[in-house]
Amino acid sequence: DAGVTQSPTHLIKTRGQHVTLRCSPISGHKSVSWYQQVLGQGPQFIFQYYEKEERGRGNFPDRFSARQFPNYSSELNVNALLLGDSALYLCASSLGTGGFQTQYFGPGTRLLVL
């Protein structure tokens, strides 16, 4: 079975630009979460979506936004990029129902902002 997939794998942008990252969850999973992992740190929660609705939001500025599509795939958008946005962006999927669900991570998109 295919796991969580993310695209692109790597991305280089300059300050002020906009970026869109994409994620496809495990088949049958309806919830997608996004995390930011800065080098040497653990992942930090950005968003969670379930059935196209935002279920949770972490402590990130409004420059970060996301959405989920009818096929449960998701996009993370970041506007007005800053140098500090350079990180590994991880997508995780879970079943999304029945209380707490374990999350399975994709390989991530490595973003470098110059």
Partner 1 sequence: QKEVEQDPGPLSVPEGAIVSLNCTYSNSAFQYFMWYRQYSRKGPELLMYTYSSGNKEDGRFTAQVDKSSKYISLFIRDSQPSDSATYLCAMSDGRGSTLGRLYFGRGTQLTVWP
List residues near partner 1 by CB under 8 A.
4, 31, 33, 35, 40-45, 48, 50, 55-56, 58, 90, 92, 94, 96, 99-108, 110
Closer residue to partner 1 (CB): 42 or 70: 42
- 60 vs 43: CA distance, rounded Å: 13
Give the nearest distance from C-beta 81 to partner 1 in angstroms. Answer: 21
Is the Cβ–Cβ distance between 8 and 28 less than 8 Å?
Answer: no
- What's the rounded Cα separation, in Å, for the pair 58 and 53? 15
Given the structure tokens 């790597």, which residue do they identify?
10
Give the shortest CB-75-to-partner 1 separation in angstroms: 17
Comparison of 18 and 51: residue with beta carbon closer to partner 1: 51
